[in-house]
Amino acid sequence: MNDVKITMETVRMFKRIMRPVAEEGIIPLPEFNEAISQLTSLAEHGNPKPVIIPRLIDMKEASEILGIGLSNFKRLEAEGAFPFRRKMVGSSVRYRNTDLYEFLLSV
């Protein structure tokens, strides 16, 4: 079993060293940002972020992802209990699934 732990100090050093490489276009900036995000997750949680295809979801699916009932989700959302915010698509309320997964990883 691998007992090596990535520290935030290592992540910050990697970021300082690799940022000029990304800014020069040698590696794409989105790839650099993803690498930093994954390393940060490894340092903070001990495992990488799951690969999630970003999409907008409705309240019902959001409540299912969080593992709570729809009425409870609506109440908590109205009270401002969640750090993620709703997105209006016409008159429909939607949420970014990536925001929900980030919230779950942070608790």
pLDDT tens per residue across all 107 residues of the chain? 567 789 999 999 999 999 999 999 999 998 999 899 899 989 988 888 877 888 999 999 999 999 999 999 999 999 999 999 999 999 999 999 999 988 987 87
From start to end of the chain, where are the E strands?
Answer: 56-57, 87-89, 92-96
Please, what sign has the CA dihedral across residues 74, 80, 84, 89? positive
Question: For residue 107, what pLDDT is reported?
Answer: 76
Residue 45 sits at the vertex; the CA angle it makes with 64 and 26, to the nearest 5 degrees, is 100
pLDDT attached to residue 4 = 78
- Please tell me the number of Cα atoms within 13 Å of 82 on its side-chain side: 23
pLDDT at residue 31 in the model: 93
The structure's pTM equals 0.58
